[in-house]
Chain A
Amino acid sequence: MLKKFVLALALSGVSTMALAQEPKIGGTINAVIQPEPPGLMLALVQNGPTQMVSGNIYEGLLRYSKTLEPQPGLAESWTISPDAKTYTFKLKQGVTWHDGKPFTAADVLFSIETLKVTHARARNNLVQLDKVEAPDDYTVVFTLKQPFGPFIGIFEVGSMPIIPKHIYEGTDVKTNPANNTPIGTGPFMFKEWKKGSFIQLVKNPNYHVKGKPYIDGIYWQIIPDAAARSVAYETGKVDVLPGGSIENFDVPRVSKLPNTCVTGDGWEFFSPMAWMWLNNRSPVLANKKVRQAIMYAVDREFAKDVIWNGLGKVATGPSSSAIKFYTDNVPKYPYDPAKAKALLKEAGYKGEKVRLMPLPYGETWSRWGEAVKQNLVDVGMNIETIATDVPGSNQKNMEWDYDISFTYLYQYGDPALGVGRNYVTSAIQKGQLFNNLEGYSNPEVDKLFEEGAVATPDSKRKEIYEKVQKILVEDVPVAWQLELQFPTITNCKIKNLITTGIGVNDGFRDAWIDK
């Protein structure tokens, strides 16, 4: 019955149509940024809004298509040695920083050294890195300790932003005043940041891709209230609502506004997936049958249809379907309250209180938490919702002080980057947020993930990862919910905004306004 009301959103190829037209020059785009970023220096701050704004100021060596194929960025071309241990990048010549200084391989080397200190994800990505060298000004060579399958996928601007050596060398990067006026090589230059109001970027006239960018600049508007953001779009004050700018429940209405284009594209690189951490240490949830019961009890189709307006997919296991080596050949958990009840009974569940912590990320997540709570209550579980804000929930997660806790994490295209970290024993570590928080430990899974990361060729990796997916789905270490899609809503006059796997984050380079 619910299905009838799922909104058929036009997720069709806006970009293909756009390509057929000749780009027009000029104009300014108003986009929403939410929340206000803490800073714009991408090597220091990597939260979502910062990536979204600064992805247009800085650049990485590579960009990635919607199918996650590497594309030229600051690097013109690249080669991988047959033993998969040496990666050689040829840098583009004639690239200059926003202040006019030339960009060279020295900047890349400097950036990598800096990122190892300041960028936790980059540090993890670079664990297999043995050394990096610059034989000349326009060549960079990475040498790995052993083959690392996902290595070619770590050069996107957010994962490895290239920062100017001439500004930061010999200074404390963290406190350098230049962080307030970021200098990159990207298509847009930082102009003004009026705290609480807007961030203004202007066209880089000397951008190294001739003719780009087409637009004169971007205003990132800071509007803290979700309802006010949709009004701002509705009244024409902003043209672009990046994913997550407005509450999901408001998406169908806004999508139907005249001259409005919606796409779910642009999140392929991140492939965000939502699940619930099930604290395997909790006496109740330590029982695999209880965890399976939860999988059966929760109506994930309902969540997808009602809470996410039919966007996204019900997750079948630890891997998102956009990730390499995904398989759906795993045990299935359809919505089946009766089975859930039976499993709970088998497990000897006696109504012990279980705490549920929704994500404090706005109404969508609150509603989701409420729906799941009701699902679980319906099969006889005693659930208490814990309300807390972002710091509180982070803290509780970091200290494993929860029973069931919602989350969604990025998977970064490769199971070795974004999947394994959530299930291997070595990632059980108090005081962090993104790895194995549930406390699941299975030597076989550990071994498989370890092999998978370094195995060659891909066919072998595929075999390993399919095996591990089956084991995990049977064990239910966490309760997978949905592969998320965050719709980007734009005025249809904005063309060609989403062209890569990271969408808006580096999309303004190619965008233009049809007047």
Chain B
Amino acid sequence: MLSFVAQRIVKGVFVLLAIIVMNFFLIRIAPGDPAAVMAGEAGASDAQFVQQLREKFSLDKPLPEQLFIYVKGVASLDLGFSFRQQMPVSKLIAERLPATLLLTLTAFAISLILGITFGTLAARFAGTWADTAITVSALLFYATPIFWVALMSILLFSVYLGWLPSFGYETVGANYSGLAHVKDVALHLIMPAMTIGLFFMATYTRMTRASMLEVKRLDFVKTARAKGLRDNIIQRRHVLRNALLPVVTLAGVHSGTLVGGAVLTETVFAWPGIGRLLYEALLQRDYNLLLGVFVVCSAMVLIFNLVTDLVYRLVDPRIEFAS
């Protein structure tokens, strides 16, 4: 197991390195650089000013040298300095990362729990109206753009019903502490997490349902019935457990999409996470910050994949810890 993890980590480092190199050049192909942005914001500029900015950001150095400096920094866990925010990138990301983790993990938990529950119900009552209702709503959620759900839920729950706050991570200036703070954050979390969660819930519902129907046909389910086991035990112990394996795999594959979904949701709900940071960094050509967010996002995906793989291996005794 240790060797498996170690191997995956080393592999992951190489993937990250490749991501850095590719994105490094990619980002710099984009028209406009941070100097152009800041010159624009300054309200006045001349060529000398822009040149100063470029020098300040080391943008005047040749690209390979810039890359070298960057990679060297990353090797010592230094993600560089944000030109625009005048702060170390790692600090900026560290400020925002917890919010994103909270959001994505909650969304992930919601989607898995609800998805598996509904999927199980649908499979259990396959062919009935309950199955149809669940399948159709899953399809609808699956087909609805995330941002659309976000806008609509703000209208419904914040504006018309006034139940939930429409933006942010916590009530600014309320200075809650302890349990009140947790409750406050939770209230803010519900809508963004549900927005991301619903889409994935739909996916997992469909997957669980299909997978359960498939496992139901397998021989060992017949064995279980031949034992005289009660149906709900068969469903839970034999069908569901086996049916969850592909769902776990899918969940691993989805981690990238999950992080991506955070970009839209964080923007709409003003959730102070790194998804939003990424988009803002892009619009400001804050190269180091953008790269840093990419690296962290990708690392998150890698870790997430690793965790789902580990879970898979723990659930499925057939796979041993070898690559």
Contacts and interface: CB of A to CB of B under 8 A. Distances in A.
Interface of A: 28, 30, 35-36, 38-39, 44-48, 119-121, 123-124, 158, 174-175, 179-180, 194-198, 200, 219, 221-225, 227-228, 231-232, 234-235, 237, 388-396, 398, 410, 429-435
B32 A198 contact: no
Given A234-B159, A394-B32, 11 more contacts: A45-B38, A46-B42, A196-B272, A198-B172, A221-B168, A223-B167, A388-B31, A392-B31, A398-B36, A431-B51, A433-B36
Contact of B270 (A219, A223, A431): A223
Contacts of B170: 197
A36 B280 contact: yes
A30 B45 CA distance: 33
Given A174-B56, A396-B31, A196 B159 contact: no
Contacts of B47: 429-432
Contact of B43 (A35, A47, A228): A47
Nearest to B166: A231
B31 A235 contact: no
Contacts of A120: 39, 42-46, 49
B33 A395 contact: yes
B177 interface: no
By Cβ-Cβ distance, the 4 closest A-B pairs, closest first, are A391-B32, A196-B272, A47-B41, A121-B44
Interface of B: 30-34, 36-47, 49-51, 56, 84-87, 92, 95-96, 99, 151, 154-155, 158-159, 162, 165-170, 172-173, 267-270, 272-273, 276-277, 280, 282-285
B23 to A, nearest CB: 16
A431 B50 contact: yes
A128 to B, nearest CB: 16
B273 A196 contact: yes
B173 A200 contact: yes
B278 to A, nearest CB: 12
B50 A392 contact: no
A499 to B, nearest CB: 22
B283 A228 contact: no
Contacts of B37: 390-391, 394
Contacts of A219: 172-173
Given A197-B168, A394-B39, A434 B280 contact: no
A347 to B, nearest CB: 31
Contacts of B155: 231
Contacts of A237: 165-168
B119 to A, nearest CB: 33
A391 B86 contact: no
A227 B166 CA distance: 10
A432 B40 CA distance: 8
Nearest to A270: B43
Contacts, number: 178
A395 B92 contact: no
A243 to B, nearest CB: 15
Nearest to B147: A225
A394 B96 contact: no
Contacts of B46: 120, 124, 429, 431-432, 435
Contacts of A234: 159
- Give the interface centre of B44, B155, B159 by most chain A CB atoms within 10 Å: B44
A391 B44 contact: no
Contacts of A30: 172-173
Contacts of A391: 30-34, 36-37, 283-285
Contacts of B159: 231, 234-235
Given A228-B166, A389-B283, A124 B270 contact: no
B156 to A, nearest CB: 11
B132 to A, nearest CB: 35
B31 A38 contact: no
Counting chain A CB atoms within 10 Å of each CB, which of B159, B172, B269, B276 scores highest?
Answer: B172
A361 B46 CA distance: 22
Contacts of B270: 197, 221-225, 228, 232
25 contacts: A30-B173, A38-B85, A38-B86, A119-B42, A120-B39, A196-B99, A196-B273, A197-B270, A223-B168, A224-B267, A231-B155, A237-B167, A390-B283, A391-B32, A391-B283, A392-B32, A393-B32, A394-B39, A394-B40, A429-B46, A431-B47, A431-B51, A432-B39, A432-B50, A434-B44
Contacts of B167: 221, 223, 228, 231-232, 237
Contacts of B280: 35-36, 224
A235 B166 contact: yes
B36 A195 contact: no
A44 B86 CA distance: 11
Contacts of B38: 38, 45, 47
A236 to B, nearest CB: 10
Contacts of A392: 30-32
Contacts of B95: 194-196
Contacts of A432: 39, 45-47, 49-50
Nearest to A388: B31
Given A38-B84, A197-B172, A429-B47, A48 B283 contact: no
B124 to A, nearest CB: 40
Contacts of B45: 120, 432-434
B50 A228 contact: no
Contacts of B165: 235, 237
A174 B57 CA distance: 12
A179 B86 CA distance: 9
A410 B42 CA distance: 12
B43 A434 contact: yes
A30 B170 CA distance: 14
Nearest to A393: B32
In this complex, which of A120, A123, A180, A237 has the most chain B Cβ atoms within 10 angstroms of its Cβ? A120
B136 to A, nearest CB: 29
Determine which residue in B56, B99, B159, B167 has the highest number of CB atoms from chain A within 10 A of its CB, and name it.
B167
Contacts of A175: 86
Contacts of B34: 391
A432 B269 CA distance: 36
A231 B158 contact: yes
A116 to B, nearest CB: 12
Contacts of A224: 267, 270, 276, 280
Interface centre among B86, B159, B282, B285 (most CB of A within 10 A): B86
Nearest to B169: A197
Contacts of A435: 46
B105 to A, nearest CB: 18
